[in-house]
């Protein structure tokens, strides 16, 4: 070959190389050489994807993506695993953030130890006007009964104390706090209860009675609210959450969330359920449902009844371990129906907390009156914890979405039969039965009632076991979910329950580039190791946030 021909050959090769490079489309991020669970309609797997302007623009093999796109940031996963960003369908995100500053009472095994913990918290925070705490559970104590306030009165005679039970549906207050709430032995309140002993308040308040005391707690500052949101966000990103449904917010906090999102400080995507106060309803009914890529406001959070652990859940037949108690609704059926009609007429979802079989029946029947059979309103029953067999099909008939928390089953299984009895407990935590009604189920945690870690819920859903992998054969495993169903429940089905399935919930072209990376595969790791799997990275809109 002559020198001239060699030169032309080299030149032609260079031209081809540059031509090939020029044809590549510029994107912001390429992720390749991984096992990517897209959670699309076919639940397909892929090796790579490209991200531009915060969205997935292509999902394919590594060879195809690298050949077609170029990016300043190319990530070789080296065989690691990718899933859509996890969505928690039911949380108290803001309350979790504010609760990081109060006494943590979770897991404490006696009331005496609880008081000791509260004293230590007070010593560390001597200037706070109130002593607040959260997380106690009398079912962990030797006596398994509600406490009495005398030890709190002795320790804090002049400072108001309010300590909330793990489920948020019961609390104990000292005498100073009861006095501030004007609570006496003769106080009566709709949807609430004041526990008495020898004719006097013990300090234990159930459901709506708590508000008589908590309403006296000074509001925290805007700066403190901002910090609470940032603290909550940081912890949630670390466990792979990219969207949270915050159940029960007022307009000022929703406004703050939206402002912080616009500023770029709050990157967490939020589906906000609005509290049904007169002020909130007046504003949002006039404004109508609202949605952008970071915030969805199109639902109201209603409380149907209380919790099973505090015997506030409304049951069709008496509690097995308290034959004189049925629990109670937190409002009248007439008021629930009026609320439902208003919410429906203004185009919002109604998302109602229902634990007991009576509450579920009451609200399902009200939903039926308002929704009729053919609808795409996506009204939700939050928790759907104990559902009578005669009522299960109503979820399908009226297209009602069950929004459940798998860790509730594995937290309650030690004592649920005590409350419900051997037969009725079989109709509790029936996630598979509920899934089969409409072919989907939304999964959440209800944190801070449970852990913020969504993989704990994943494990509970598929194995029906606690952190110690007990019981060996699982709890009522006929209602366990498959791994694919559990992953859908915390991604695409949760997005659907939020009216967000066109924005997120799967790794598909055109959707927001929210995803997580793990070093072990959720789909194949042994059951007993699921809770140990760590999220290595969390991305929102293609930006690494953890």
Q: List the domain boundaries for the chain.
A: 103-214
In order, the DSSP letters of 131-181 are: EEEEEE-GGGSSS-S---THHHHHH-SSS-EEEEETTSSEEEE-HHHHHHT
> Rounded to 10 degrees, what is the CA torsion of 533, 539, 545, 546?
20
70: tokens are 């170029």
Question: For 63-91, how does the pLDDT look when each residue is reduced to its tens digit (9 = 90+)?
Answer: 999 999 999 999 999 999 999 999 999 99
Nearest one of 240, 252, 350, 234 to 301, comparing CA atoms: 350
Residues 6+ apart with CB under 8 A from 358: 305, 314, 315, 316, 326, 327, 329
Q: Are 285 and 342 in contact (CB under 8 A)?
A: yes
Scanning 425-515, the segments in alpha helix (DSSP H) are 431-438, 454-463, 483-489, 492-497
Q: Are 50 and 60 in contact (CB under 8 A)?
A: no
How far apart, in whole angstroms, are the C-alpha atoms of residue 308 and residue 206? 12
| pTM of the predicted protein model | 0.91
Hey, CA dihedral for 462, 466, 467, 473, is it positive or negative?
A: negative
Residue 493, SS3 per DSSP: helix
DSSP state at residue 542 = T
> What kind and span of H or E run contains 69?
strand 69-70
Nearest one of 257, 225, 253, 246 to 299, comparing CA atoms: 246
The single residue listed with the structure tokens 């100073």 is 176
422: tokens are 């051997």
DSSP state at residue 389 = G
Q: Is 15 exposed, middle or buried (0-12, 13-18, 19+ CB in 10 A)?
A: exposed
Question: For 241-264, how does the pLDDT look when each residue is reduced to its tens digit (9 = 90+)?
Answer: 999 999 999 999 999 999 999 999
- What does residue 148 show for φ and ψ, rounded to 5 degrees? -135, 145
State residue 127's pLDDT score: 87
State residue 16's pLDDT score: 47
How far apart, in whole angstroms, are the C-alpha atoms of residue 482 and residue 17? 48
The single residue listed with the structure tokens 């080299």 is 10
How far apart, in whole angstroms, are the C-alpha atoms of residue 524 and residue 532? 13
How far apart, in whole angstroms, are the C-alpha atoms of residue 89 and residue 404? 8
How far apart, in whole angstroms, are the C-alpha atoms of residue 136 and residue 479? 28
Can you give 259-324 as a three-state secondary structure string? HHHHHCCCCCEEEEEECCCHHHHHHHHHHCCEECCCEEEEEEEEECECCCCCCCCCCCCCECCECC
> What kind and span of H or E run contains 123?
helix 111-124
> Rounded to 10 degrees, what is the CA torsion of 219, 222, 223, 224?
30
State residue 8's pLDDT score: 53
Residues 6+ apart with CB under 8 A from 439: none
State residue 191's pLDDT score: 87
Residue 392, Cα to own-chain centre: how many angstroms?
A: 23
3-state helix, strand, coil in the chain (%, to 5): 35, 25, 40
State residue 167's pLDDT score: 87
CATH number of 103-214: 3.10.310.70
515: tokens are 């995803």
- What does residue 203 show for φ and ψ, rounded to 5 degrees? 105, -15
**Partners of 60 in beta bridges:** 48
**Partners of 32 in beta bridges:** 76
How many C-beta neighbours within 10 Å does residue 118 have? Answer: 25
**Stretches in the chain below the pLDDT threshold 50:** 11-12, 15-21
State residue 188's pLDDT score: 87
């Amino acid at each position: 070959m002559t020198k001239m021909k060699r030169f032309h050959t080299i030149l032609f090769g260079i031209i081809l190389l540059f031509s090939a490079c020029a044809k590549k489309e510029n994107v912001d991020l390429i992720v390749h050489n991984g096992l990517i669970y897209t959670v699309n309609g076919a639940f397909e797997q892929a090796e790579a994807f490209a991200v531009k302007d915060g969205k997935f623009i292509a999902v394919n093999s590594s060879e195809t993506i690298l050949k077609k796109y170029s990016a300043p940031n190319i990530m070789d996963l080296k065989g690691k695993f990718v899933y859509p960003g996890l969505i928690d369908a039911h949380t108290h995100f803001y309350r979790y953030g504010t609760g990081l500053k109060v006494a943590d009472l979770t897991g404490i095994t006696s009331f005496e130890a609880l008081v000791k913990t509260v004293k230590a918290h007070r010593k560390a925070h001597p200037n706070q006007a109130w002593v607040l705490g959260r997380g106690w559970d009398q079912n962990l104590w030797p006596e398994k009964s509600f406490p009495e306030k005398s030890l709190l009165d002795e320790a804090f005679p002049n400072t108001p104390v309010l300590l909330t039970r793990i489920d948020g549906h019961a609390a104990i207050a000292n005498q100073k706090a009861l006095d501030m709430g004007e609570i006496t032995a003769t106080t009566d309140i709709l949807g609430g209860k004041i526990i008495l002993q020898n004719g006097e308040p013990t300090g234990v308040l159930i459901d709506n009675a708590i508000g008589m005391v908590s309403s006296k707690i000074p509001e925290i500052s805007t700066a403190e609210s901002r910090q609470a949101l940032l603290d909550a966000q940081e912890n949630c990103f670390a466990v792979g959450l990219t969207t949270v449904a915050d159940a029960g917010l007022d307009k000022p906090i929703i406004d703050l969330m939206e402002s912080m999102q616009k500023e770029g400080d709050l990157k967490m995507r939020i589906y906000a359920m609005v509290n049904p106060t007169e002020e909130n309803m007046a504003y949002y009914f006039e404004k109508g449902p609202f949605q952008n890529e970071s915030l969805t406001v199109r639902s109201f959070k209603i409380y149907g009844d209380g919790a099973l652990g505090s015997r506030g859940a409304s049951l069709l037949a008496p509690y097995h371990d308290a034959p004189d108690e049925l629990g109670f609704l937190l409002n009248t059926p007439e008021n629930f129906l009026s609320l439902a009609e208003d919410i429906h007429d203004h185009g919002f979802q109604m998302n109602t907390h229902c634990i007991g079989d009576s509450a579920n029946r009451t609200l399902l029947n009200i939903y039926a009156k308002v929704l009729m059979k053919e609808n795409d309103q996506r009204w939700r029953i939050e928790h759907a914890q104990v559902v009578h067999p005669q009522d299960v099909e109503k979820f399908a008939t009226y297209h009602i979405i069950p929004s459940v928390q798998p860790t509730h089953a594995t937290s309650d299984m030690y004592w649920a039969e005590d409350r419900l009895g051997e037969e009725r407990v079989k109709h509790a935590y029936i996630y598979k039965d509920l899934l089969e009604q409409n072919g989907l189920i939304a999964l959440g945690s209800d944190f801070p009632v449970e852990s913020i870690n969504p993989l704990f819920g994943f494990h509970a859903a598929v194995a029906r076991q606690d952190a110690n992998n007990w019981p060996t054969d699982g709890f009522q495993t006929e209602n366990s979910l498959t791994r694919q169903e559990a992953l859908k429940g915390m991604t695409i089905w949760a997005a659907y329950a939020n009216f967000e399935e066109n924005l997120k919930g799967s790794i598909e072209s055109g959707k927001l580039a929210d995803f997580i990376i793990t070093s072990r595969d959720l789909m194949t790791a042994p059951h007993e190791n699921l809770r140990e799997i760590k999220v290595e990275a969390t991305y929102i809109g293609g930006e690494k946030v953890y």
